[in-house]
Each structure stands twice: as structure tokens, then as C-alpha cells.
Amino acid sequence: MTSDEARARLEGLGFDPHASSTLLVHFEDADARGKPGHGLSRVEWLESLELDPSARPVLLESDEGFARWDGNGSLGYLVLAEIVRATLADPPARARVVVARRCFPTGVLGYWARALAEGGLVAALTATSPKRLPHPDGGPPLTGTNPLAIAVPSSDGRPLVADVSMGAVTHGDVLSGRALPEELVAFGGDQAHKAFALAAGLELLVTALAGPEPGAVLVVARPEHDPVPALRELAAGRRLPGDS
């Protein structure tokens, strides 16, 4: 699918040009970074959902250290786009926790965390999804893949962005035919209990703050140190998380 075809299909779903552009840029970035399961192939999946293209996220409460949003029927991508925009427009003096309820699908979390880091903020972002990961010992799915993205700005203009899903493959890989449904388990093989523990912890963290429907939690802060250049020097040219 080309970008022009994707835009036409998104607008055909009823998304206005601004929302279509927001979605399209996200999908293009995912493809460019080698994450095709989150790229333009997602447009076809969106066409299979019941959507309200006119829905907009709502800011329910906000103060210096805390903000709460409701997705209000809007796609999670658009909810996080608005949260990032609002946070960069009014960054915290020190730190802020942002909770978004009814926020799904959220796409590549590293994309949103990177935007905050490029704006000079340290960010940690996690989000839940429908339950897809079973316990390593078997049984029904108990948690979502529940990715975690951490982004740290750098004085060299190259933030470090670590973005890890707790699944051995992503749901996007399954949707795009790059993986089988039975491969969607906690990563780590005989050490999968570690990834499952993270998935369960993140599941309950987000649920405790955002409620039972898929949601997102962001912690954002102003950095007081600049550790990324020193790590790059130690890495001696080796690729670090989030590098192109």
C-alpha cells in the first residue's frame, strides 16, 4: 500500500485531513524503522473496526503534576498525539503523570516518547491492550503485550529511545501474516516468566490508574543530567536503542 492509497482510505473512513495526516505519519515512521506490523498495513485493520472518526479526546483534569484524559471514542493514536502536543505546549516545571483511559490502539509507543524527548523531556510511556499473552505455564491469555517506551533527550540531538513489547512477536505481526497467533507469547523462552512479570505489572499499573479498558500512562520530566552522549562514547559506534 502506498502512502497516497493509505491517505485516501483513511479519509474514506471519515477521518479529516489533520487526523489522516497524524495517522499516516505514524504508520510511515513505523515502516521506516522496520516495524511493518505497525505501519501502513494497519490501515486495512482499521477498516475492519467500528470507528467514530469525529471523536476527540477530552482533558478531564489537569494540574502541574497530573493530567487525566478520556479517549472518548477516539483512536488511541490520536489520543496520544493530543497528549504529546499538549505536554510540549505546557511542559511540567519538574514532572507530571498523565493518565489516559479508553486509549487504544496506541501504535509504536517509542514514536510518541521520541517526540517528547526531541522536545527536551524525559518520558516513560506504557499502554495496555486486549489480553493476548498467556501465562508461561499455559492457559488463557491473562495480559496484553503491554509495551514500555523510555526516551531520554541528548545534547547531541540524538535521544535514546528504548521501546519493548513483552510479546515474542507483536499483534501487528500476526495481523500482517508475519507471525502465527500461537507465537504471541511472552518473550524469553525458558526465561519468559520475566517478560510475563513485566506485562502483568504494567497491566495492573495502567488498570489501577486508567480503568479496565485499554489505557495508557505517561511519566514525563525535565532532565537534570545529560547521560546519553557518555553512553554513546562507551558504545563506540554500536547501535543503541532507537537509532535509525
**pLDDT tens string 137-194:** 999 999 999 999 999 999 999 999 999 999 998 887 887 788 888 899 999 999 999 9
The tens digit of pLDDT for each residue in 198-225 reads 999 999 999 999 999 999 999 999 999 9
Beta pairing, strands 95-101 & 66-70: parallel
% of the chain residues with pLDDT over 70 = 100
Asked whether the whole model's pTM tops 0.75, one would answer yes
Q: What is the pLDDT of residues 107-119, one digit of tens each?
A: 999 999 999 999 9
Residue 25 has pLDDT above 90, yes or no: yes
pLDDT, position 42: 93
pLDDT digit string, tens, across residues 91-101: 999 999 999 99
